[in-house]
Structure 1
């Protein structure tokens, strides 16, 4: 209950304080490339329930038809504004709304698309999906340069499924077992330090 109240208070305050920035970013995205400002994608949430995650659109509208679900290196599908948004993690800001509506938490295992959740073992599903997914978590900090790592791989999708995803799930499992409000605050501060 304390975690949920913390999430609601921080997400609500964050949306209010960041409103001018959110409007400015939305206008920039609209000016930079045709298409909607927000990108919605189905992810798997708590207890395996699907939900739609929201991000500022950082890729061309036809991106899903032009390549894989993972982003690799200097992906040509990324727009000019998208490069800046991704580098500063500003594309994630709309997820504060997902936190406010209860689909996500500020801190928790990053939600995956159904395709990759299908690779979880039953034990991983039970543990990792027992909590709300988050905007940040230990794996997000550890794999901040994930797209660069994938760009060096001979088969990026295989590298993600066989190397990166298992490592992320290990970190996610450790987080879930040890999670506390103090852990969440430390992870939020660490994330803000990385961004700044």
Structure 2
């Protein structure tokens, strides 16, 4: 990923925070037949390895897990993103030398993907993944709310994924290359938007 120095995100807590906030990732592998990608909900175990380990699952019918990968896999996590209009820059009124752009946050995690079919590991995986997303709810659903034989049948339709992270790249393109006045103009416009992602970008922008 091309990352100008002003946009580089390289502190581990910040990288992990973007991964946790995104939840859904695109798992990309290179194969002899070309690139393959699958959108997957993944969770991060930050204590497993120097950069953490990602966990998730694919449908058993998904050919990605059976197709040998060339080199490492890549999981792409996208944070909030927003279109930036040149009209929001005060500098536009001075010289008109401005163009549209896009602000966004993203993290790429690289590592060798490991797939497994053990039913006990799969049960532990889906239980942890479910708890991650259900725990904030007033009445969280649990895997064991469903009949055990039904859950066992569902597990036969998935394959587990473990991806120890060997390398992380992060980018926060949030108008850091603009003047404080231009950043303030963008932040004000995005904060007033009806689009939640626009407001999230405004909140993430530096002063």
Shorter-chain TM-score: which interval?
under 0.3
Higher alpha-carbon Rg? 2
Question: Higher RCO, 1 or 2 (CA under 8 Å, sep at least 6)?
Answer: 2
**Greater helix fraction, Structure 1 or Structure 2:** 1
Instruction: Please give the TM-score of this superposition, normalised by the length of structure 2.
Output: 0.21
**Greater strand fraction, Structure 1 or Structure 2:** 2
